[in-house]
Amino acid sequence: MNKNEKTERTVARIMESAMTEFGTNGYVGGTVNNICKAGINKGLVYHNFSGKDELYLLCLKYSCQKLTEYICANGGSADLKRYMAVRMDFFHAFPREAHIIFEALLNPPLHLSDAVNEALAEFNRLNEEICKKTLDALALRKGITMEDALSYFHLMQTMLNGYFSSPAFQNVVLHEKVKKHEKAITELFDYMLYGVAEGEKK
């Protein structure tokens, strides 16, 4: 094994351990010391990475890339209903990635907020693409533009994420929070697009 191959293998081991650490304990609970418990020399971690922040952001980028690839590979971009179903399948099948993504969405480390937003950019772009595709198939109300509708959705999504970040959910285990969040955002889409009333009571 040459030097480059050895380095690649070391980096892969560190990243795998970091995925498990942040996917279990999150950013706040995650430590480099715990990452090293997988039999990794601490000096090798700092030789290949600047520290905890870089490892966390790389794990987030990897998780987002894996999610978007999974959605595209499983027909998730076909329509809104399929998209939400495939998203939920992914979060169920890959709990480490789900933990990392949802922490970034709901409770990101404040000092890394810009870098977290950059890492989430592809996932957010995919969300907007699905929303646009759904809106394109509908006749918007007079005076409402596509930009208006997307801005409204972003506002409501931000408010929803804020609610799931609130004390009301601080004691809810992650997999339950994911299920509740995905159900709520599916309903949000439905209410935004089709409303909640059929008309006045007779």
Domain locations in the chain as residue ranges: 56-194
Q: Please report, rounded to a whole number, the percentage of residues in the chain having pLDDT higher than 90.
A: 81
Q: Which residues does 97 contact at the CB level (< 8 Å), separation at least 6? A: 19, 23, 62, 63, 66, 67, 90, 91
Q: Residue 135: pLDDT above 80?
A: yes
- DSSP, collapsed to helix, strand or coil, labels residue 58 as helix
Ramachandran region of residue 179, left (φ > 0), alpha (ψ -120 to 50) or beta? alpha
- For residues 135 and 63, the answer to whether their CB atoms sit within 8 Å is no
Q: Is the pTM of this model over 0.85?
A: yes
Q: Among 189, 35, 22, 156, which Cα is nearest to 102's? A: 22
Q: How confident is the model at residue 150 (pLDDT cuts 50, 70, 90)?
A: very high
d(CA 111, CA 15): 22
Q: For the chain, give the mean pLDDT.
A: 93
d(CA 66, CA 51): 23
When the candidates are 3.40.1550.20, 2.40.440.10, 3.40.50.720, 1.10.357.10, the CATH number that belongs to 56-194 is 1.10.357.10
pLDDT of residue 1: 67
The token duo for 13 is 């081991």
Per-residue DSSP letter, 41: -
| pLDDT tens profile 111-120 | 999 999 999 9
- For residues 38 and 47, the answer to whether their CB atoms sit within 8 Å is no
The token duo for 28 is 């706040």
Residue type at 48 in one-letter notation: N
Per-residue DSSP letter, 122: H
